[in-house]
Amino acid sequence: MSHYETDAAAGKMVGILVTGIVIGTVATFLLSPQSGRESRDQIRQYVRRKGEGLEEGLHDLQEKTVETYHDMASETRQGLEEIRRTVKEALQAGLDEFRKEWKQVRHTS
C-alpha cells in the first residue's frame, strides 16, 4: 500500500470517527433530561471546543497536503529529468552509430 493510499485510509477513518462523535453527541443531548436552553448552551460550548480542535486538524491536513504536493512535484521533476537524460543518451548513441556507418559508406564507395 502506497504512502498516499495509507493517508487516504486514515482520512476516511477520521471522517467516520468525527461522524460517530457528532451522532453520539446529538443523541445524548436529545435524550438528556435537562431543559432545551441548557442543552443548547451545552451544545454551543461543545461545538466551540471541538471547532478549535477541528481548526488545528485542518491546519495539519493543509500542511500535509502541501508537503505531499511538493513530494509529488519533486518526484515528477526527477522522473522527467531521468527521461530527458535517457532520450539524450539514446539520441547521441544513434547519432554516433549513424556517423560510424556514414564513414564506412563513404570510404567503401
The listed range with the strongest mean pLDDT (3-7, 49-53, 85-89) is: 85-89
Q: How confident is the model at residue 97 (pLDDT cuts 50, 70, 90)?
A: very high
Determine the angle formed by the axes of helices 3-31 and 36-108, rounding to 10 degrees.
170
Confidence (pLDDT) at 95: 94
pLDDT averaged over every residue in the chain: 84
Annotated domain spans of the chain:
3-108
In the structure grid, which three cell numbers stand for residue 102, read together? 556514414
Give the model confidence (pLDDT) of 19-56 as tens digits: 988 888 778 767 777 777 887 787 788 888 877 777 88
Measured CA to CA, the distance from residue 76 to residue 92 in angstroms comes to 24
pTM given for the model: 0.44
